[in-house]
Amino acid sequence: MKTLVYVEHDNQHLKDATLATVTAAAKLGDVDLLVAGSGCKAVADAASKIAGVGKVLLADDAAYEHQLAENVAPLVAGLMDGHDAFLSPATTTGKNIAPRVAAMLDVMQVSDIIGIEGDKTFVRPIYAGNAIATVESSDAKLVITVRGTAFDKAAAEGGSASIENVSGPGDAGLSSFVGAEVAASERPELTSAKVIVSGGRALKDAETFQQVIIPLADKLGAAVGASRAAVDAGYVPNDYQVGQTGKIVAPEVYIAVGISGAIQHLAGMKDSKTIVAINKDEDAPIFQVADIGLVADLFQAVPELTSKL
């Protein structure tokens, strides 16, 4: 099977989510990569070094600068004559583009896969991760999004793929990019962090969140996450949100502070290797999934923990 993998990037850097998708694609067959963007040669160079890649297709055009689905989907659909499967990381970029590609090819997409059981058989979570479905596609071509935390990352070095320029229909003239507000963060990226410290509604306000959660995260070199309640209350920006509607994470250690453990939150973090919960309510559902629980007032326990680490 010949697969085409969508490279997630910001026109300068290749994003890690791509590497897990390459691993998934390699289980199906030969892997080609598509870098669509503007002034993104550096990304194609980085992509060509990923181990196990056949070739890198580079579509460098102003129309692809912001990876608008209306412009990128026809480019991908056009490249599918020579490929049997299109795989994309299940990031917001992938989730935006891939279904548009699938409909253009008249195939059903398989979303957010966590396992591959055969050429056309995949495993994916449904009902916020409360059930795991095995599905078999009957379509001639496959369109798949891949959950990054479910597959190992392919080695970013060691490959020497050739880079080939490709072009598509360009600007569809339907949409335009107006602007972006990128949340500044010098911490490890949430979806690839080894340790995550996450705060919930119990943190009271933005200032308290900063005072309690951030020093602990700094001490552990951890990324910072949050429950939906904490985001809705304005303690942190929405891209910190972990859960069914936010980011899906699976770090080595997930420390949930003042988070009750609603099923929508658990959907985003219950595949973490070790879950630590600090909550003053000993009946909080989070303790049913936590490997290590501490029933305590977080305003005393967390600063004490930070100082003793």
What residues numbered 120-159 form the site for other proteins, per CB under 8 A? 121, 125-139
Contact 276, 256 (CB under 8 A): yes
Candidates 19-27, 49-57, 150-158, 288-296; binding stretch for other proteins (CB under 8 A): 288-296
* Number of other CB atoms surrounding residue 139 within 10 Å: 15
Per CB under 8 A, the list member of 106, 157, 186, 283 interacting with other proteins is: 106
Instruction: Quote the least distance from Cβ 238 to other proteins, whole Å.
Output: 6
Annotated binding site for FAD: 201, 227-228, 241-245, 258-265, 279
Do 100 and 136 touch, CB atoms closer than 8 A?
no
Nearest CA among 111, 69, 87 for reference residue 6: 87
Out of 33, 63, 116, 220, the residue judged to bind other proteins by CB under 8 A: 220
Does 305 engage in binding with other proteins (CB under 8 A)?
yes
- DSSP type of residue 78: H
The smaller minimum CB distance to other proteins, of residues 106 and 157, is found at 106
Minimum distance, C-beta of residue 49 to other proteins, in the bound complex (Å)? 23
What's the rounded Cα separation, in Å, for the pair 280 and 218? 23
Backbone region of residue 167 per phi and psi (left: phi > 0; alpha: psi in -120 to 50; beta: other values):
beta
- Of 13, 41, 175, 281, which one interacts with other proteins (CB under 8 A)? 175
| 173 burial via Cβ count (<10 Å: 0-12, 13-18, 19+) | exposed
Alpha-carbon gap, residue 38 to 64, rounded angstroms? 6
- Best CA proximity match to 228, nearest among 272, 268, 255: 268
Q: In terms of CB distance, is 3 or 191 closer to other proteins?
A: 191
Total residues contacting other proteins by CB under 8 A comes to 90
Binding of other proteins at residue 69 (CB under 8 A)? yes
Name which of residues 23 to 52 contact other proteins (CB under 8 A). none
Q: Using the minimum distance from each CB to other proteins, give the nearer residue, 55 or 95.
A: 95
